[in-house]
Amino acid sequence: MKTKICLFVGPTLFREPTPAGIVRYGPAALGSVFRAVEAGYRRIGVVDGFFGNAPSVWHKEILYAISRGVDVAGAGSMGALRAAELWTLGMVGLGRIFRLFRSGAWTDDDEVAVIHATKELDFQPVSEAMANVRFTLRSLTRKGVLERRLEQEIVRRMKAFHFSGRTKEALRQQLIELVGRAKGEEVVDRFEREFVDAKRQDARVLVRYLTGPRAKPWPRASKVFSPTDHWRGQFETEIADVPPLG
């Protein structure tokens, strides 16, 4: 029997098709992984996830999946966050962003957060992820476009914005303030042409993982999950209230 595979992704892989054999859903929310397990998926990838305006995918449901022998992997965005929190309990983490969170070098969720459009518009991103801003500016510094001190100041200023305000226009305004219009426009042009989409790169690693050999099952998988009263109330007793996959 062919292994059922699904992927939860939205703005990170905007306008990028999913390989045959992977069923694609939008960003994960509370109950998404649980629903996927109940639907028979044996390999689940998490890239993007809802937050703020919808309850986020729960750590407990990921542990439930692992306890059932399901291969759960994360990268790029919400998936990287959850994997950094659960890798010692069997969730597979992939990519540079995951490693930065796992090591503690990054600790803020807003490094990967973006504003995006609705499902009807394919979750098109509207703002820039701080993670991608960091990687792109560092690349420009290594190429001699920026001085290290200027890179650090731009990062500091962009980090001070709410994640919804981190746009290329915001970057342009900050650069003009720091180095003048001519140099600022030059740097923004290079930023756009040589953009490092680290989130997308990591998501592609996850897609390749899902279509390749799975990692060895977690040896203590049966011990990572305990069906607490909260769990029973949230997912077993009130299953009708758990949002459907989509």
Asked whether the beta carbons of 31 and 61 are under 8 A apart, the reply is yes
Nearest to 192 by CA among 213, 173, 215, 169: 169
Cα 219 to its chain centre, rounded Å, is 26
Share the mean pLDDT of the chain. 91
| Res 115: pLDDT | 95
Q: In what order do the strands lie in the sheet with 71-74?
A: 22-25, 5-8, 43-46, 71-74, 92-93
Confidence of residue 187 (pLDDT cuts 50, 70, 90): very high
| Res 82: pLDDT | 98
pLDDT one-digit tens code per residue, 20-61: 999 999 999 999 999 999 999 999 999 999 988 788 899 999
Beta strands 43-46 and 5-8, pairing class: parallel
User: Which residue carries 């923004």 as its tokens?
Assistant: 188
pLDDT one-digit tens code per residue, 81-139: 999 999 999 999 999 999 999 999 999 999 999 999 998 988 999 999 999 999 999 99
Q: How far is residue 200 from each of residues 27, 112, 120, measured CA to CA in Å?
A: 14, 11, 20
Among the residues of 118-194, which ranges form H helices? 130-142, 148-160, 168-179, 181-193
Asked whether the beta carbons of 35 and 242 are under 8 A apart, the reply is yes
